[in-house]
Amino acid sequence: MNILYDERVDGALPPVDKTALLEVLRQRLPDLDLLHQTEDLKPYECDGLSAYRTTPMLVALPRHIEQVQELLRICHERRVPVVARGAGTGLSGGALPLEQGVLLVMARFNQILHIDPAARTARVQPGVRNLAISQAAAPFGLYYAPDPSSQIACSIGGNVAENAGGVHCLKYGLTVHNLLKVEILSVEGERLTLGSDALDAPGFDLLALFTGSEGLLGIITEVTVKLLPKPQLAKVLLAAFDSVEKAGHAVADIIAAGIIPGGLEMMDNLAIRAAEDFIHAGYPVDAEAILLCELDGVEADVHDDCDRVRAVLERAGATEVRQARDEAERVRFWAGRKNAFPAVGRLSPDYYCMDGTIPRRALPGVLKAIAALSAEYQLRVANVFHAGDGNMHPLILFDANQPGELDRAEALGGKILELCVAVGGSITGEHGVGREKINQMCAQFNSDELTLFHAVKAAFDPGGLLNPGKNIPTLHRCAEFGAMHVHAGQLPFPELERF
């Protein structure tokens, strides 16, 4: 894929004198580990969105907040842009480095500072891995709910920056709903606290504003998350359907029945077969779609909900409903889903993972429209998604070595995201905008709304030094991209007229 670097943003900044910058960094921060040789920079060329690559000018690996503060002061004085990076697992290129900037790697801030079982909170450094929080909380019967697929590797700082989700978001919310407080450094290195240890904080809700801001507003140095008691019991049902539309309706029916499952996931036939081939989860490979529905909570409740969901699924036309017989089978059912992306990746030389959200009611129609677009662009699309909250992950299969396929894949991806916007949804559910979806932001928002984003950005970072070129497109870019603003279906979307 092309690196669509936003030169207008970067262009506004003066060129950086690397030698002079290195010299001042070594002088004022003699203990700071710096990488600047080409071979050392290679591993930092991209994040989880490997199609976009840039070699950073230099990589800083601080160990202490004071080092980060001084680094920020130096960069601020010299107008050097700074991109923060955690574990580098992001899927939208949010941590893509800059050729003319410093990549600030926060991975060494990896300490769990305090678990407070009475308050049910964990205070951790930003480089702590998502799963490590739950592991540390486990002795108290607690866990941290948001569970992105990358939870073994991804770090909480990146989770906050991208407002990460996971299969349990439907019931337990996104990262923003599971945070109490974030300590940040401003672009000038000032220490600021957003949120508090209590329920609510007065003034503007800067904690929520900051969450998902993708490194544009400040550098995270500490995170206090909420912990939840581990559910007594979790059961999972697997339902097979002979059409994706029926599975889509079943999702709506479950929610309409007043049940909030711990997870409610859908996979279509292509994804089912890929996952089964890879993981041997025991999925029915001839089903057009499967739903995985997890019920968790206290025991009596879970049994009751399982019966109710089974009845709803059968009424919705499921050809088969199976309950995982034991914990091993439950884990296997989920392993198929959690490995669906790499599994689909094995079907094709390249794949492009999209991330959009739609209102649940639009699910069957959007699935139909995606199938039509797939035929039109002559590219296979596997659908894997958090069906319960309408967060779709269409995976577009292509071969970058076939002339034109990459461009078609990008164009198809863009169309799918615009389709999401047209039905009242959005261009990202949990992966963020980053570099990847910067153009689609022009479809999601009108110029007044984008102007407001820029004004908010300027309130935190008037010089535009923090992660420039990500998340919020310039008005100039949108004009050039020529996107129709299709906000909330106010403009007709031709693909939608087909059904």
- CB of residue 192 vs a second copy: minimum separation in angstroms? 6
Residue at 18: amino acid letter: K
8 Å CB contact between 442 and 477? yes
Which pair of tokens denotes residue 49?
A: 């969105």
Quick one: 345 or 434, whose CB is closer to a second copy?
434
Distance CA 320, CA 272 (A): 15
- CB of residue 486 vs a second copy: minimum separation in angstroms? 12
- CB of residue 468 vs a second copy: minimum separation in angstroms? 15
Cα within 13 Å of Cα(82), Cβ side: 33
8 Å CB contact between 58 and 22? yes
Quick one: 203 or 403, whose CB is closer to a second copy?
203
- CB of residue 485 vs a second copy: minimum separation in angstroms? 11
8 Å CB contact between 426 and 420? yes
Quick one: 330 or 437, whose CB is closer to a second copy?
437
Quick one: 336 or 429, whose CB is closer to a second copy?
429
Residue 223, SS3 per DSSP: strand
- CB of residue 465 vs a second copy: minimum separation in angstroms? 15
Other Cβ atoms closer than 10 A to 242: 14
- CB of residue 20 vs a second copy: minimum separation in angstroms? 29
Quick one: 192 or 400, whose CB is closer to a second copy?
192
Distance CA 295, CA 172 (A): 12
Which pair of tokens denotes residue 164?
A: 């990460």
- CB of residue 404 vs a second copy: minimum separation in angstroms? 29
Quick one: 122 or 281, whose CB is closer to a second copy?
122
Distance CA 244, CA 381 (A): 13
Q: 234 has which bridge partners?
A: 296
- CB of residue 320 vs a second copy: minimum separation in angstroms? 25
- CB of residue 199 vs a second copy: minimum separation in angstroms? 5
8 Å CB contact between 74 and 28? yes
Kind plus residue range of the DSSP H or E element containing 266: strand 263-268
The residues, ordered by sequence, that sit 6+ positions from 312 with a Cβ below 8 Å of its Cβ are 250, 253, 254, 257, 259
8 Å CB contact between 227 and 116? no
Burial class (CB in 10 A: 0-12, 13-18, 19+), 287: buried
- CB of residue 460 vs a second copy: minimum separation in angstroms? 7
Quick one: 17 or 197, whose CB is closer to a second copy?
197
Q: Taking the alpha carbons of 332, 335, 341, 343 in that order, is the dihedral positive or negative? A: negative
Distance CA 206, CA 455 (A): 15
Residue 59, SS3 per DSSP: strand
Q: Taking the alpha carbons of 211, 50, 109, 36 in that order, is the dihedral positive or negative? A: negative
- CB of residue 275 vs a second copy: minimum separation in angstroms? 24
Quick one: 273 or 470, whose CB is closer to a second copy?
470
DSSP 435: T
- CB of residue 437 vs a second copy: minimum separation in angstroms? 7
Quick one: 331 or 488, whose CB is closer to a second copy?
488
Quick one: 35 or 160, whose CB is closer to a second copy?
160
Residue at 111: amino acid letter: Q
Identify the residue whose tokens are 């929520």: 208
Quick one: 350 or 495, whose CB is closer to a second copy?
495
| Residue 154, Ramachandran bin (φ over 0: left; ψ between -120 and 50: alpha; else beta) | beta
Distance CA 315, CA 336 (A): 26
Quick one: 279 or 358, whose CB is closer to a second copy?
358
8 Å CB contact between 273 and 285? yes
